[in-house]
Structure 1
Amino acid sequence: MADAPKFHPALAITNVKSLISITLDMESGQYHSWAALFKVQARVHGVLEHIISPTEAKEKEAYEQAKAADLSLWKRLDAVVLQWIYATISPDILNSILIDDDSAEHIWESVTDLFHDNKHSRAMYLNTEFTTTRLDDFSTTSAYCNRLKSLADQLANVGAPINDHALVLKLLQGLNESYKDFVMVIQNKKNLPSFATVRSKLALAEKNLQERAKHEADSTTFIAQDQPANDRTQAPPNRESSQGINSRNYANNNYRGNNNRKHNKSGSRNNGKGNRGHSSGG
């Protein structure tokens, strides 16, 4: 009867992306973060030796003995680690390193070499991004600070670290005119605060600016809504009064017209009588 397959914790992982949330690509420059997360999971699940061979004599001997004792399990675990690598890298990287029947350790080294070979050009690109980053490109100060911190971490990963002092100066340099008072206060301190402290103070300054802007907007709205009521105290020409004046003018004109017609009729009758008197006398 064949022996039952031995259980190993690495075999229970069905979705490694839930454990390693970063998908490695050439553009993001997150190799060191990806590698750190990957090594943690490999150590937790007992397969770290599949990507990094032991260097100490005793550890190396124990590893070789375990491999020889159950070569079938070792090959299966190596394939599992290969799956983890393939599942957490971009298609471009996968196509550049994929080799049939390769080992997890060799693929790991290939990915490492791929990023180390481009280290200097990557550092130049990241440094340009870092120096040109400004608050105006982001919706909040938090997003702006996150971007600066991410770029600083990536520069450190390629051998071009940014110290905390330089990071704070860059943060202040990238702010816009709205924060000129904030910049002045921080710059005038005897000892420049840490990046974490300045970031916290910047978030508070942003909140104060937003509340001030909201208050000013509410005041403007109140004045605009109150204006018609003020205008009503200076009464506009009364439409009814105008109509009344027009009615009186019309009545006066009718009155004068009627008098003129009566006068004309009276004159006509008198003229008629005079003409009849002359006729009789003749």
Structure 2
Amino acid sequence: MPAAHTTLVPSTATATANVTSIKSHIPIVLSMKATNYTMWSVFFKAMCGKFHLLHHIDGSILAAPTNPTWIQEDCNVLSWLFGCIHENVLTVMGDLSVTEYSQCVKSLADDLCDVGHAMYEPALVLNLLCGLRSSFANAVDNIAFKTPLPSFSEACSYLLMMEMHQKNDAASSTVLAIFGRPHVVCGSGGCQ
């Protein structure tokens, strides 16, 4: 009797680790400047489905952060995600003003709503806080620990006020640096 033919199938974790270029599987880069979320999400879901990893993005199975296989699979999905999105999707304040940054966060929330993923007000406020510069650390704490959490417009108003204070403090420091020094007279005998 002939021997049975056995095919070895690599584990999902091993198979996903062998994906070296996400762009060959997902040819679209998700960008804020292009309205390509729907097409990008179809490719991304297909990629996750191909490797039996949809549960990492759809929540159909609870996360298992103590399971080494689950951790490796999740890291692979995150790598794929970061490999096919433009940096403008990762909303961080950078050098933007509070007004520009808050408009960007609100625009992202509106775009998500347009594709059927509405963001509720508390999540919108918390997302606003997550991308702020470190100079707003005190404002983040003050807003995040208010009960109830302020509305998006209240949080933006508070941040605008903080931004004005920061600009005034910087201007005051400059004036003090220029005019606040003691009067020094320099002559041939040195400075007094």
TM normalised by structure 1 equals 0.37
Amino acid at match of 1:159: G
Q: Deviations over 1:32-77 (max 9, x none)?
A: xxxxxxxxxxxxxxxxxxxxxxxxxxxxxxxxxxxxxxxxxxxxxx
Q: CA RMSD in A?
A: 3.3
Aligned to 2:39: 118
Offset at 1:191? 1.1
CA contact 2:113–2:119 (8 Å) conserved in 1 = yes
Greater percentage in helix: 1
| Identical pairs, percent | 27
Distance 1:236 1:159, change over 3 A: same
Structure 1 stretches lacking a partner, 5+ long? 1-25, 30-114, 239-282
Aligned to 1:237: 189
Q: Deviations over 1:223-258 (max 9, x none)?
A: 4xx55x4234xx6439xxxxxxxxxxxxxxxxxxxx
Amino acid at match of 1:231: V
Match of 1:185 among 142, 150, 161: 142
| Structure whose alpha-carbon radius of gyration is higher | 1
CA distance in 2, matches of 1:117, 1:237: 77
Aligned to 1:209: 166
Where does structure 1 differ by over 6 angstroms across 4 or more consecutive aligned residues?
Answer: 122-128
CA distance in 2, matches of 1:161, 1:215: 43
Q: Deviations over 1:247-279 (max 9, x none)?
A: xxxxxxxxxxxxxxxxxxxxxxxxxxxxxxxxx
After superposition, residues 190-269 of structure 1 pair within 5 angstroms as 190-223=147-180, 229-232=183-186, 236-237=188-189
Match of 2:132 among 158, 171, 175: 175
Distance 1:122 1:27, change over 3 A: farther
How many corresponding residue pairs? 121
Aligned to 1:143: 100
Structure 2 stretches lacking a partner, 5+ long? 1-31, 45-80
Distance 1:141 1:121, change over 3 A: farther
Amino acid at match of 2:94: D
Match of 2:92 among 130, 134, 142: 134
Amino acid at match of 2:189: P
CA distance in 2, matches of 1:116, 1:197: 29
